[in-house]
């Protein structure tokens, strides 16, 4: 008997509940699961690659068709993770990048390889014409970032950059209150802080060397510079930074090469519209704290995420809006459903994938454009140069130095 569909709540949190697995498919109504419409290949199956695999399956509109990685340990672990978490689903294992990119069964490519390989991955991936989700940072140098920007301008498929912090619940709320409702008035200053543990281990320890990672302020902090640009709604004019290698990896060597990445920094950015932004990084903290403060001419907003390993049961996510002249203020704890929030980066990776598929289907989204990815790298590169030289770095001069034509990277999204 066919069951007609009504307007009742159809919740993925119900359909994912394993206690309903006894039901035959024809008896599933509230518990019906979506049939995946899209197939994706993951290129690079380390920690973040596996996060993308899990989130794709969790989101349900897509499935992971195959994987490619030159590291056999990463491949084996990814296969084991996938078979454990998604029994009954098989994976194609490719023996070359070309084969992974050009399989006619596949709709899109998710590129999660080490930063310095992104340019080569993209050069091959675009030959396929498939939709592309490229992890951050899009490249390690301005030249490579500019090349990718130019490639993407005429690309017929979706080309999305993995700057997913803008989808964390705290920043979604901040965007709504500050940019849509204008509840702090005209934003004048932006302050972001990240205190965290050191960089974790990677295959060949590539993240311990600036020539492979782009430097700490490109590798890790492009997320925050993307938030700067998003809330400033303007282009950066100049960057000044101080920083050092104070604690982490000061004696670390790999293949007879000494680590050279900084572990702390203060970065200031001035924008064309007069907004001033500051960033504070410490990567030898025993706890995790991320905080953003926006100050406008009508109020102040603070959002934060904290994981301190203590038994205090404090909310991990907090939002605070304080307004002047008796206008409503509020304090809240923005969050997503637990399954989503625990799926990676506080649920941000889940929504990155949801919006990737929305983009494929022609829906309006707020995903980071390739141009926005370029500007997040540009600020990081300017900050790294400022630390090396001790000077203020003017973005226009930096772009000219690297043969980047500014008119070619103005956002048209």
Whether omega before 387 lies within 30 degrees of 0, making that bond cis, reads: no
- The whole-number pLDDT of residue 5 equals 59
User: In the predicted model, is pLDDT for residue 67 greater than 60?
Assistant: yes
pLDDT at site 317: 96
Is the pLDDT at 325 greater than 90, yes or no?
Answer: no
Gap between the Cα atoms of 297 and 382, Å rounded: 29
Average pLDDT, the chain: 94
pLDDT for residue 36 is more than 80: yes
Give the pTM: 0.93
pLDDT value for 314: 84
Give strand pairing partners of 152. Answer: none
Q: Where in the chain is the domain with CATH 3.40.50.720?
A: 12-164
Average pLDDT over residues 192-208: 97
- In this predicted structure, the answer to whether residue 175 has a pLDDT above a threshold of 70 is yes
**Residues 106, 123: Cα–Cα separation, whole Å:** 18
pLDDT at 96: 98
Residue 411's pLDDT is 44
CATH 3.30.360.10 domain position(s) in the chain: 165-339+368-408
DSSP type of residue 175:
I
Whether the Cβ atoms of residue 74 and residue 49 lie closer than 8 Å to each other: yes
**Nearest residue to 316 via CA among 306, 303, 328:** 306
Q: What are phi and psi of 52, to 5 degrees?
A: -65, -35
Helix, strand or coil, per DSSP, at residue 227: helix
Given a cut of 50, whether residue 1 has pLDDT beyond it is no
Query: With 50 as the cut, is the pLDDT of residue 306 above it?
Result: yes
Q: Is the pLDDT of residue 408 over 90?
A: no
Over its C-alpha atoms, the chain yields an Rg (Å, rounded) of 22
Residue 30, pLDDT > 90, answer no
At 343-402, the pLDDT tens digits run: 999 999 999 999 999 999 999 999 999 999 999 999 999 999 999 999 999 999 999 999
Give, in order, the Cα–Cα distances in Å from 55 to each of 74, 125, 137, 166: 18, 22, 20, 17
* Sign of the CA dihedral with 286 first, then 333, 136, and 95 last: positive
Check residue 310 and report its DSSP letter: S
Dmax of the chain from CA atoms?
75
Considering the domain 12-164 in this protein, what is its CATH number? 3.40.50.720
Pairing of strands 264-271, 276-282: antiparallel
| Overall average pLDDT of the 209-227 stretch | 97
Over residues 79-99, mean pLDDT: 96
Q: What is the pLDDT of residues 270-290, one digit of tens each?
A: 999 999 999 999 999 999 999
Query: Given this model, what pLDDT does residue 9 score?
Result: 60
Cα separation, 94 vs 294, in Å, equals 47
pLDDT of residue 22: 87
Helix (H, G, I), strand (E, B) or coil at 65: strand
CATH 3.30.360.10 fits 165-339+368-408, yes or no: yes
CA 108-169-272 angle, 5° bins: 85
Is 134 a residue whose pLDDT tops 50?
Answer: yes
């Amino acid at each position: 008997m066919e069951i007609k569909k009504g307007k009742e709540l159809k919740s993925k949190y119900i359909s994912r509940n394993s206690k309903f697995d006894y039901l035959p498919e024809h008896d599933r109504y509230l518990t019906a699961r979506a049939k995946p419409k899209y197939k994706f290949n993951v290129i690079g199956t380390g920690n973040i690659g596996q996060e993308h695999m899990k989130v794709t399956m969790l989101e349900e509109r897509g499935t992971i068709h195959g994987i490619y990685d030159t590291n056999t340990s990463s491949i084996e672990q990814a296969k084991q993770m996938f078979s454990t978490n998604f029994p009954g689903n098989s994976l194609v294992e490719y023996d070359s990048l070309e084969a992974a990119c050009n399989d006619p069964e596949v709709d899109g490519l998710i590129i999660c390889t080490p930063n310095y390989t992104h340019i080569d991955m993209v050069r091959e991936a675009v030959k396929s014409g498939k939709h592309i989700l490229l992890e951050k940072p899009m490249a390690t140098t301005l030249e490579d970032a500019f090349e990718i920007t130019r490639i993407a301008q005429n690309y017929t498929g979706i080309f999305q950059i993995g700057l997913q912090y803008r989808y964390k619940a705290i920043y979604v709320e901040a965007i709504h209150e500050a940019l849509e409702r204008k509840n702090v008035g005209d934003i004048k200053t932006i302050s972001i802080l990240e205190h965290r543990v050191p960089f974790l281990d990677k295959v060949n320890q590539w993240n311990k060397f600036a020539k492979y990672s782009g430097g700490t302020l490109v590798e890790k902090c492009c997320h925050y510079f993307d938030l700067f640009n998003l809330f400033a709604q303007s282009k950066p004019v100049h960057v000044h930074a101080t920083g050092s290698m104070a604690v982490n990896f000061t004696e670390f060597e790999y293949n007879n090469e000494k680590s050279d990445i900084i572990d702390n920094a203060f970065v200031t950015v001035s924008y064309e519209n007069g907004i001033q932004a500051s960033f504070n990084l410490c990567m030898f903290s025993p706890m995790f704290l991320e905080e953003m403060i926006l100050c406008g001419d009508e109020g102040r907003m603070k959002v934060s995420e904290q994981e301190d390993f203590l038994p205090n049961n404090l909310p991990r996510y907090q939002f605070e809006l304080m307004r002047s002249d008796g206008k409503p203020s509020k304090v809240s704890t923005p969050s997503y459903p637990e399954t989503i929030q625990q799926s990676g980066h506080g649920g941000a990776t889940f929504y990155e994938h949801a919006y990737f598929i929305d983009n494929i289907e022609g829906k309006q989204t707020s995903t980071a454009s390739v141009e926005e990815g370029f500007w997040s790298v540009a600020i990081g590169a300017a900050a790294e140069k400022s630390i090396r030289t001790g000077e203020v770095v003017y973005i226009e001069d930096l772009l000219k130095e690297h043969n980047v034509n500014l008119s070619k990277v103005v956002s048209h999204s």
